[in-house]
Structure 1
Amino acid sequence: MRKKSISLILSLLITMLLTFFAACKDDSTPSSEPDSKPASVTLDKTAITLSIGGEDTLQVLGSEEGETVVWSTRNAAVATVENGKVTGVGLGNTTVTATVGETTIECSVTVTIFYENVVEIVLENELHDNANFRLLTGDTYVFEPALMDGTKVENVTFTLTSNNAAITVSGMTITAVEAVENAEVEIACTYNGQAYSLTVYVSVDQGV
């Protein structure tokens, strides 16, 4: 009877030990849950349009904090890029690239002229900005300026000044008094609180 009791106790102890080791083995088994996939790396814009001298900033989305981004442009004559800031240089199209690790992402860049944003003084009688024309002493010339903001702006008051006594001014009329080379005649106005000007270079030859 005593031997049977001892055998029963030993069997119970062995069963308990086996159960304990099995539980430990289960606890050490790595989790079979899949790791979360990393977010894809993208740019916040895939296409931008700039004027010459205009700027826009691109941002990389989905990259890890502190991860290096290498920026480049296919045509620096059209647009440059520095730390994501894109600047329009010349008319045309190019592509700005951001490289993050082994991932390359692109943004199309178009540089154009925004005519609706150009405000300028023009001359309606066929002279243009920085035009150089010649008069003879005693000649007069009447400027016909206009301010353009997409279309002609009405009711604008212009002033005319000369930087040389060889050219006198009265209203929008200049008079060639004596011979001179490249005297500056400036046409100016104010529009929406902003000053605009146009400089015309006038040369005078001695009349017969």
Structure 2
Amino acid sequence: MAVRVEAPVHETGSGATSRALVLSAVGVVFGDIGTSPLYAFKEASHAAHHGGLSPNVVLGILSLILWALIVVISIKYCIFILRADNRGEGGIIALLALLGVRRVQAGSWRMYLTVMELVGTALLYADGTITPAISVLSAVEGLTVDAPGFGPYVVPITVAILAVLFSVQRMGSGWIGGIFGPFMLVWFAVLGLLGILSILAAPGCWRQSAPPMQSATS
């Protein structure tokens, strides 16, 4: 007796569901990258200020940040990291499960990979611990630009915001992404608009921060 086996039917999500997932990803995944300009450029400028903060120093910092983003995100993540997954799940913790830590023998190549994975996991946890504090603190410090007398309240406000943020972590990343996704979308739009306006106002900064373009025009 012949048995007919039907292929499984995979349901595809609706357009609304896909858009909601993309919006959540913007709030959870890309929020870290999007908030980095709050403190990265400021701290780099502060470190270089001891030798004099000249236009060349500012352009050098801009070039370093620009090419670091291009290399790390466009090359490392898009070409290598996104192709390494564990049954569709990515990230260093998911990849750690592929090594089979309990079956690792001393002196084998798996042992060295496991050590590197553990170091990377430790760095991931460290980044997840300090990044929210630095991002929120840098954002609140921005209030002192227009209101210098607000300085004594920066740390208490930062602590209060972080307490609220960590208290809602139990709601899950999907809920958090849905809440912060629209804010991050507006934030990215503002960054892009301000960046375009700044480049149009001073096109020389773009040419000087892009070494290939500079060498081609010189």
Pair in the same fold by TM > 0.5 = no
Of Structure 1 and Structure 2, which has the larger fraction of its residues in helix? Answer: 2
Higher relative contact order (CA 8 A, sep 6+): 2
Of Structure 1 and Structure 2, which has the larger fraction of its residues in strand? Answer: 1
